[in-house]
Amino acid sequence: MRFKGLDLNLLVVLDALLTERNLSAAARRINLSQP
């Protein structure tokens, strides 16, 4: 497995999505707004 190009911030996003099961709730959880 190659980790050189892996953005670890995406793991935070994935965790929020899997926990919330809702894109809007996940965005609020990580303090981001949808475009």
Domain regions of the chain by residue span: 1-35
Question: What per-residue confidence (pLDDT) applies to 23?
Answer: 92
The alpha-helical segments, DSSP class H, found in the chain are 9-20, 23-29
Has this prediction a pTM greater than 0.85?
Answer: no
Q: 29, 16 in Cβ contact below 8 A? A: yes
Phi, psi of 14 (to 5 degrees): -60, -45
Summarised one tens digit per residue, pLDDT across range 2-31 is 778 889 999 999 999 999 999 999 999 999
Q: 17, 35 in Cβ contact below 8 A? A: no
Q: Which two tokens stand for residue 27?
A: 């965005």
Question: What per-residue confidence (pLDDT) applies to 35?
Answer: 66
